[in-house]
Amino acid sequence: MVEIFFEDSLYEIILNRPEKHNAFDAQMIQELTDAFKNTPQDARVVVIRANGKSFCAGADLGYMRSQVSSTAEENARDAARLSQMFEALYSIPVPTVLYAHGNVFGGGLGLVAASDIAIASDAARFCFSEVKLGIIPAVISPYVLKKTGTAFARRYFLTAEIFGSTEALTARLVASTVAPEDADIQIKRITEALLAASTEAQKSVKKLLRAYDDFAPLNSDALASELARLRAGADAQERLSRFLDRGAGFVRGAP
């Protein structure tokens, strides 16, 4: 249900249940969780995409039927496993790039929101469909709201309307949109930019951003300490030396 490739510092995770529009069931949730948690230590960028017509249509119908007959305790454990999957993606220490196409419904939007840089096909269709089923987008909401804020959610969480990539971009749920035929070019451009930067600095940036996401921003002393730690490291020393020797290439005034 999930394909994994790792080559030249690029770790690729592909949802591969196209006959079910890559809808979640218990096995797929576990495979994705394992894939996120087992990101190779020497990976520098993680790319997430999907085979078939849709990126992810949310929960599989058979999977949802099984939940109806489950006990409260079983449903609690299942919800915890789903939550852990999104947290595993959000916690990957290196940059994550996700490409969403086709239908992106329910929990599929959790993957979009929990990734660092989400790119959407300009023909993608999005929907927080939970309220139509009598439930709420509970475990994905922390990641969605960190990107969009509550104003956007007040409409689409409540109405379960389908919206397009333009609305997703305006809401900051995705970072950019692209024609499907240009998706590979766009992903390559972004991954090359990420691979050209310092991995240690990127990990530090993700730590800084997570602190703000969690409403516990680093204070000025902690930020200064983190910058000093990076400056003193071998990676920054080498990059700064190359810059000074070359005399161009970085933005003037950068710390």
Domain of residue 37, CATH code: 3.90.226.10
> Which pLDDT score, from 0 to 100, does residue 255 have?
47
Burial class (CB in 10 A: 0-12, 13-18, 19+), 51: middle
pLDDT in tens, 138-187: 889 989 999 998 999 999 999 999 999 999 999 999 999 999 999 999 99
Report the chain (255 residues): mean pLDDT per 10 consecutive residues.
Answer: 95 96 93 97 97 92 71 77 92 97 96 98 95 85 92 94 97 97 97 96 93 72 70 76 65 47
> Which pLDDT score, from 0 to 100, does residue 247 have?
64
The type of residue at 44 is R
CB 114, CB 92: distance < 8 Å: no
Judge whether 25 lies within some domain: yes
Residues 86 and 42 in one domain: yes
Residues 57 and 109 in one domain: yes
Residues 163 and 238 in one domain: no
What's the CA gap between 80 and 99, in Å, rounded?
25
CB atoms within 10 A of CB 188: 11
Residues 53 and 125 in one domain: yes
Residues 167 and 238 in one domain: no
Residues 95 and 220 in one domain: no
Residues 33 and 134 in one domain: yes
Nearest to 45 by CA among 1, 7, 16: 7
> Which pLDDT score, from 0 to 100, does residue 132 have?
86
Judge whether 251 lies within some domain: no
Residues 125 and 55 in one domain: yes
Secondary structure (3-state) at 254: coil
Residues 71 and 146 in one domain: yes
> Which pLDDT score, from 0 to 100, does residue 215 have?
67
CB 186, CB 176: distance < 8 Å: yes
Cross-strand pairs, 176 = 119
> Which pLDDT score, from 0 to 100, does residue 147 have?
94
Give me the number of domains the chain comprises.
Answer: 2
> Which pLDDT score, from 0 to 100, does residue 194 have?
97
> Which pLDDT score, from 0 to 100, does residue 241 have?
78
What's the CA gap between 234 and 241, in Å, rounded?
10
Residues with Cβ within 8 Å of residue 67, at least 6 apart in sequence? 75, 78
- Is the pTM higher than 0.85? yes
Domain housing 84: 2-194
List the beta strands (DSSP E) in the chain.
2-7, 10-15, 45-50, 96-100, 103-105, 117-121, 125-127, 162-164, 176-178
What's the CA gap between 89 and 85, in Å, rounded?
7
Residues with Cβ within 8 Å of residue 21, at least 6 apart in sequence? 52, 53, 54, 56, 57, 102, 103
Residues 128 and 165 in one domain: yes
Radius of gyration of the chain (CA): 19
CB 83, CB 154: distance < 8 Å: no
Judge whether 253 lies within some domain: no
Residues with Cβ within 8 Å of residue 231, at least 6 apart in sequence? 237, 240
